[in-house]
Amino acid sequence: MSEKTTITYTLTDEAPALATRSLLPIVKAFAGTAGIALETRDISLAGRILAAFPEYLEPGQRISDDLAHLGEMVNDRDANIIKLPNISASVPQLKAAVAELQGQGFPLPDYPEDPASEEEKGIRSRYDRVKGSAVNPVLREGNSDRRAPLSVKNYARKNPHSMGAWSRDSLTHVASMEGGDFYGSENSLTLDRPEKTRIEFRRADGSVQVLKDNLALLEGEIIDTAVMDRARLREFFAAQIKDAREKGVLFSLHLKATMMKVSDPVIFGNALSVFFAPLFEKYGAELDAAGVDPNNGLGDLLAKIESLDGGVQERIRAELEACLAAGPDLAMVDSDRGITNFHVPSDVIIDASMPAAIRSSGKMWNREGKLQDMKAVIPDRCYAGVYQAAIDFCREHGAFDPATMGSVANVGLMAQKAEEYGSHDKTFILPADGVVRVIGEGDRVLLEQPVRTGDIFRMCQAKDGPIRDWIGLAVTRARLTGSKTIFWLDENRAHDRALREKVAACLSGYDTRGLDISVLSPVEATRVTMEEIAAGRDVISVTGNVLRDYLTDLFPILEVGTSAKMLSIVPLMNGGGLYETGAGGSAPKHVQQFLSENHLRWDSLGEFLALAVSLEQIALRGNERARILSVTLDRGTSLLLEEGKSPSRKAGELDNRGSHFYLALFWARSLAEQEEDGDLKERFKALYGELSSHEGEILGELNRVQGTPVDLGGYYRPDENAMVRHMRPSPLFNGILEKFSAGSN
């Protein structure tokens, strides 16, 4: 491949997808001056669905499998990919997307909830590859380097966001199982040779079912198995529901039914069916007849019973209300609309919900729309202690001060699907009692777990190469920053003990003199990290994949108010770069406002930051203009923050589109002021002159369209022309950019 001069931009879903239609023309215009082209690849939920079923579609409806293409691209040394947040679909989201696409004329098969024939099983298998965290494991061929950029950190210090006041009398706490969870059952093995393996389920009656075959493992690879005991899980939920009622705190379940797409919906369904046990006991037959699956949430249940006789519906609703009255108050997702913690499994995602609660003095919203202390129910103990340690620290010391607190960066192990708990094809719900075994060559039993009906078994892997790369990246960041660097590994957990051995062996090969590197349990690491940042010092957390996901929301939400403003770099193992633009948890709410008011409050700051480092990568290949564009983009971003030109929450004021205009204005200004490239200086001086002289008119065109509803022709697959029309409503601004772009070609 010739020297890379292309940036690949991903088209995704919801608010980020809308924002891209406004921002991308600006980026193309500016990047074109350095000979850099931009291409797009569609990894939206709708795009992934359509790509999975080409034979069902008419030739003109078929689209390329862009995710598969990107999966090949990430192994290229010149890969340069900007990845925006996409929908990690739960089953209800997947079914809604399929229904919308069918309504748009795409003859897709329905999602088979209970596949019977081989054809239905094949369809279900294809859909299952689309749902959940289907994108990230494909793209993340490197480990994660995530931190708050200096411009963002400085802005937060000068303009500290609100923090809830903690009380020493707070009743908020985390509740986790004391046994029978993944943590307690985990076993682990580091392979001393390559193995071709299989996972088999041996029932109590002696029959054997192969759950996974032809699983090739590498020398030095760590494999683990663990089991969630269904009976003990349900006993745990019953006890915590009773305790929450007695203590007068909200019952709040915190899982991740998107990434943990096999295990967590089942855990969620068990919680719901225990909470509403009388309902399921009295009306189980009727609920089954309506196709109710508790794993899909209370919202799905309420929708499904619409098919039942009116009298039955009324009795079911009355019993449901009786359960709510008899149980503890539930944490709410939307108090005004009566949407509880139980309505949709993907509504409450632990890595977003827990940090938000800790920032809000440990409270969540109740039915009356007031903040209340809560019982945060996190069944598995693997990382629950991190949140309890954070709560304990804040209860004792009070809320952090964003104006003075230090920063927590993260180096995360995630390359080559490392530690993708629950988002892979090695998690199973067992239909009977027996034992699950990982069998190696010669029928050698590598690992085994006794199981009972309904238990959840999972196996995960972490290859030796990504682990070594992760450790090396941590040492590099420690040396570059001088920050205290902590590996978060629990010696009481089988998998972490194996990792600790590799860390110790690998670190001995580095010169770590003068570096402050330690290995602590996650609970102790939380305590030490919070002490450090409270004193204004920076820390690097070095973690596995799931904890990476959790910490890169927890600390940014406390530090800068949101995880969307973090710089997220994935140095790909073969030399390229993947640049992620922040979290998308708030994207659905932003779309709701846009559709009703034509005001998009989504903040594209994460894209600005990702683009700057993307340009840096091209500069390292010898493109000097790319370096200048990168440096001036950073300056322009800083100006945007200092001038307060981020999107407002209120319709009629500056929104995402106006913020993009100001990025163009400030970026052009920074390029006009630089002295390294005279031609660039003159070209952008002219552009800056045009933009600044027409600022009022352009803002008028952008703001005048607000206040009225918008029809995009779809939620999961909006009409492209409608998106472009609504996201680029300023003819004057569009014309200036088009004229400038024409002059660059």
Residue 584 banded pLDDT, cuts 50, 70, 90: low
* pLDDT number for residue 585: 64
209-232 pLDDT, tens per residue? 999 999 999 999 999 999 999 999
Averaged pLDDT of the chain: 94
Taking residues 638-653, what's their average pLDDT? 94
Q: What is the pTM of this model?
A: 0.85
d(Cα 551, Cα 358) in Å, to the nearest integer?
Answer: 13
Angle between helices 118-130 and 91-103 (to 10 degrees): 100
What are 119-159's pLDDT values in tens digits?
999 999 999 899 877 888 888 889 999 999 888 898 999 99
> Which residue matches tokens 């990476």?
548
Kindly tell me if the per-residue pLDDT of 565 is higher than 90: no
| Residue 86 · residue 44 · CB < 8 Å | yes
**Percent residues over pLDDT 90 in the chain:** 88
Structural domain boundaries in the chain: 6-141+572-744
Q: Look up tokens 């029928």; give the residue.
A: 443
CA separation, residue 344 to residues 257, 306, 589 (Å): 10, 17, 15
Tally of residues, the chain:
745
Q: What is the pLDDT of residues 308-362, one digit of tens each?
A: 988 999 999 999 999 999 999 999 999 999 999 999 998 888 998 999 999 999 9
List the one residue out of 88, 22, 87 whose CA is nearest residue 598: 22
Q: What is the reported pLDDT for 417? A: 87
pLDDT at 423: 63
pLDDT in tens, 693-710: 999 999 999 999 999 999
Tokens of 268: 């969620």
Distance (Å) of CA 632 to CA 664, 680, 732: 11, 11, 24
Give the burial string for 33-72 (b: 16+ CB within 10 Å, else e).
bbebebeebbbbbbbbbbbbbeeebeeebeeebbbeebee
Please check the confidence at residue 307 and state whether its pLDDT lies above 70.
yes
Look at residues 609, 587, 569, 601 and name the one whose alpha carbon lies nearest to residue 87: 587
- d(Cα 302, Cα 340) in Å, to the nearest integer? 13
Q: What is the pLDDT of residue 131?
A: 85
Average pLDDT over residues 171-184: 98
| pLDDT at position 3 over 60 | no
Spatial neighbors of 28 by CB under 8 A, at least 6 apart, are 38, 741
The reported pLDDT for the residue numbered 563 is: 83
Distance CA 68, CA 641 (A): 37
Would you call 265 helix, strand, or coil by DSSP?
helix
Six token digits for residue 414 = 């995630």
Average pLDDT over residues 583-593: 80
* Res 160: pLDDT: 94
- The set of residues, in sequence order, having a beta carbon less than 8 Å from that of 742 and lying 6+ positions away, is none
Distance CA(583)–CA(634), nearest Å, equals 20
- Pairing outcome for strands 539-543 and 408-412: parallel
- What pLDDT was estimated at residue 150? 86
Tell me what the mean pLDDT of segment 680-690 comes to: 97
Region of poorest pLDDT, from 76-80, 240-244, 464-468, 730-734: 76-80
Question: Which among 124, 50, 744 has a CA at the least distance from the CA of 425?
Answer: 124
Q: Higher-confidence residue: 605 or 133?
A: 605
How would residue 88 be classed by pLDDT, with cut points 50, 70 and 90?
Answer: confident
Q: Residue 124 class from Cβ within 10 Å (0-12 exposed, 13-18 middle, 19+ buried)?
A: middle
